[in-house]
Amino acid sequence: MYLTTTSFNKISVPVLRGIVLTSLTLTLSACNSGDDATSLTKAVELEIQRSQGTIIESVTITGGQFRLKVGEIHQLRATGVDSNGETRDITSELTWISSDSDIATVDNKGLVTAEANSDLNRGIVLITGTTINDIFAEAEISVSDVNVAGLTLQQYLPESGNVLTCIDAKITGNVTYEDDYQSLNTVTDISFSVDDDSTAIINDQGMLYTSNELLESTTVTGLINNISAQITVIADPSNLDSIDILLADESTKKLSFNVGERISVNAQANLTSTTTATNIDNSISWQQRDTNLIGITAEGDNKGTLLALKPGISELSANCGGKKATATLEIKGNAEITALTVNDNVDTLTLANSESIELTLTASFTDNTATLNVSEFADWNLNGSDLVSAELISLGTDQATYKITNTANAAGELILSVTYDGLSKIIDVTVE
């Protein structure tokens, strides 16, 4: 059977795979080659990729020259350029191997696990990723617990120039160790902070979020143990054209829902330099005109989640970089509260040493048998006591709670109060 390139292109992939598989099976049988299923499958896939022009001709692995300590993991990623000249992520297409699996192993998705610290050759292991047609690339990983000797910071995203206000930026570090190994573009063990005068914020992954309507200079400090480094980042809002509020990925000017209903909104920025809109959920500031109608989760993984608390008409605004988008909020239903309850109507608590208790505040309404978890939007008050620490957790969900933890070394008592929509509950807490 002879198939030209043209005829290959006219045959569907499943049919083509069947033709090639049959042909190769006959060839192997005639040559008494055995039934090596792996080799046969590889040969079939190679023929399919050749016929489609998608066979990889070059490979690049990113994330190399990176130091780990035993037990840590690190993701390598691979991109490839195919015979059509197109670039794609081929991380899961490669066969990955480690030059020393006693020190570091790698799975079939490029995830490296540090198995043992090593001083031999500074703990360096080569990780190789190979395509089905034997094109490969290597990345260097080091596994050692040698102390840090030096640190420098750099802009990783974008790599140079000013960052765009409201658009996610990233800071990473190059870390030098006492054995002279240098780990590149890492955030491992680095504690980040920004100067007090900046409106920017930065998290432990080095993600920098900016929102000032003016050109703003921010000094970022990175710290590992007693070794520090700084970098100055300038955020420029001049490229920010407008902001949209999104519901289900569609721009909206009006949101309608019922009391007790929870929805999530997003924000996107439209830039003057491109027609492509950019997600700015991390930098956006959400506000509403009437704060008692809607509860807004303002931070965390569920930032932008709205919970309808009372019926009425309000306005939601998204603000960043001097730009603002608004949407009308229409809340329907009944919200006349008949009672507030904490957990199983508890009014006394006892906390043992280092013990934590999660408290849920629910509101009951007239003409409605359902209750609503309003823990996130209530006013909790420890009334000046330092016997316990407290935090709201699971924000933006029906499982939101107020978590109190016994952090004191001394016994005592405190009064915990919580207020919502003019109603209050008081709980006597004994700390042992």
What is the pLDDT tens value at each position of the chain, 432 positions in all?
344 444 444 445 454 455 444 554 545 454 455 556 777 877 888 888 888 888 999 999 999 999 999 999 999 999 999 999 999 999 999 999 999 999 999 999 999 999 999 999 999 999 999 999 999 999 999 999 999 999 999 999 999 999 999 999 999 999 999 999 999 999 999 999 999 999 999 999 999 999 999 999 999 999 999 999 999 999 999 999 999 999 999 999 999 999 999 999 999 999 999 999 999 999 999 999 988 899 999 999 999 999 999 999 999 999 999 999 999 999 998 888 889 999 989 999 999 989 999 999 999 988 655 789 999 999 999 999 999 999 999 999 999 999 999 987 789 999 999 999 999 999 999 999
In the three-class reduction of DSSP (H, G, I as helix; E, B as strand; rest coil), residue 251 is classed as strand
The secondary structure of residue 183, as a DSSP letter, is E
In the three-class reduction of DSSP (H, G, I as helix; E, B as strand; rest coil), residue 39 is classed as helix
Asked if residue 284 lies in contact with residue 304, where contact means CB atoms within 8 angstroms, the answer is yes
For residue 91, CA distances in Å to 80, 88, 108, 128 come to: 9, 9, 8, 12
Asked if residue 336 lies in contact with residue 394, where contact means CB atoms within 8 angstroms, the answer is no
Q: What are phi and psi of 163, to 5 degrees?
A: -85, 155
Using CA atoms, how far apart are residues 254 and 60, in angstroms rounded to an integer? 46
Asked if residue 360 lies in contact with residue 341, where contact means CB atoms within 8 angstroms, the answer is no
Class of domain 337-431: mainly beta
pLDDT at res. 35: 55
- CATH 2.60.40.1080 corresponds to the domain 148-236: yes
Using CA atoms, how far apart are residues 14 and 73, in angstroms rounded to an integer? 38
Its pTM stands at 0.83
The CATH architecture to which 57-143 belongs is Sandwich (2.60)
Q: Which residue has the tokens 């198939």?
A: 3
Which residues make Cβ contacts (< 8 Å) with residue 256, sequence separation at least 6?
330, 331, 332
Is 337-431 the same fold as 57-143?
yes
Q: For residue 14, say if its preceding peptide bond is cis, omega within 30 degrees of 0.
A: no
**Residue ranges of the domains in the chain?**
5-52, 57-143, 148-236, 240-332, 337-431
CATH topology of domain 240-332: Immunoglobulin-like (2.60.40)
In the three-class reduction of DSSP (H, G, I as helix; E, B as strand; rest coil), residue 282 is classed as coil
Using CA atoms, how far apart are residues 326 and 317, in angstroms rounded to an integer? 4
Asked if residue 165 lies in contact with residue 235, where contact means CB atoms within 8 angstroms, the answer is yes
Using CA atoms, how far apart are residues 139 and 133, in angstroms rounded to an integer? 19
Looking at residue 15, its amino acid is V
